Structure 1
């Protein structure tokens, strides 16, 4: 009977070792990392969610299309002493993300842009994307990688409908504008004959012994009254006053001749 407790103790230790070994078989894989989502990511239920994965895992020369397949799921994380995750949606299942065997690249990237976040998800901040790579051999165990925890917002309500609110009617008052038109008298602009300027008119006035008048607001420049310019000639010249009187005296008689003689005497004295 004393051996029973010892047997139970041995079985208990074996169970613990089995659990530890099983836990060791599923471990985080550093060959894969998340570029998105990050801790700053904010998804909205019912809308697109971007997942971007970078892989440094390189395929072997004899790799088949079924080697190292990936399953990517959206999960929510619960707290407690022994935290766990719960699958809420499958993002991609059975995809391969390997660097080709003959490639010189150091990494490859997968962008998943066609995933729509389920509209029924509850808003929260304990969401994460979980990557799991299936084993492909006896010593290639299952491996997992998780993104950072991020937040998902609730789906927005359908439409923008409001009830119970009064309808506001806006009336814009247009001012009445009264236009007053003043009676304007248009004065014709003074003009000159074609091809002539006021300098030409000035010369014409001088040739005609007429006064030159400057242009005003209503009349153009023009020639005015005739100028009286006395002609000064000598006493004996044919056109002088003395000669004219003598001619008049000779051609007339009576008082006219006497008056002419008297004027001639006066003119001679002066």
Structure 2
């Protein structure tokens, strides 16, 4: 759906994006990750045609990005853009009509979303009278009212309590199931694991990681396992693995082990079974958060 090719963006003497290329496939939830100042927002603003690149180009469904695509994109900015003294219903109507909906269609969709998000009595309220979480709900509805093909969410969970965060998570998944492609920019790595099919990590204006969540996590596997036994073993008991740590609880002695080169889990089990009762064995796969920290620190 979205092909981002060799994008460069500079502000005065600062290069915010340096030769960044990404491919966002139709129907995916694409995680755009990076620490503050990495260049994520600069890229999002270019996709939304708020600013232009200094070099490179972007294609939307095979066409070079142009103004006709604006109505096909829904954008939830990190810095929210609601009119604080305007009534919510009027504001939704105004924003929906900017995206090309008729007043009748806009009214119908607003009523649908207000009921869906338990906002039925908000029509006459003003933004300044709402909590930050309530404002977030309004902004989210404004983003998706026109049923965009591409939805860009920049820190969508900011200000939400866990209950409302779960509601928005479910809405994102439902929108994706109905065909929307979603670019999801966040610092909440647990959300990335839950939602995203594909991620890219931008750091200091460069793309440093790009791929499916599954493939990236698999590439960082390092043959480390947690083994629960009914008794404590020492390094002397293991020839197939390095003993990293042991933690005890009421039911287990949990041993963290890293297989030595040339050995398999079968070899490890053959070594353990004569010595202790095995309660569980699980591979320790790095989380996206752990991979993120590792890549940014390097």
Instruction: Name the TM-score class by shorter chain.
Output: under 0.3
Larger Rg: 1 or 2?
1
- The structure in which a higher percent of residues are helix is 2
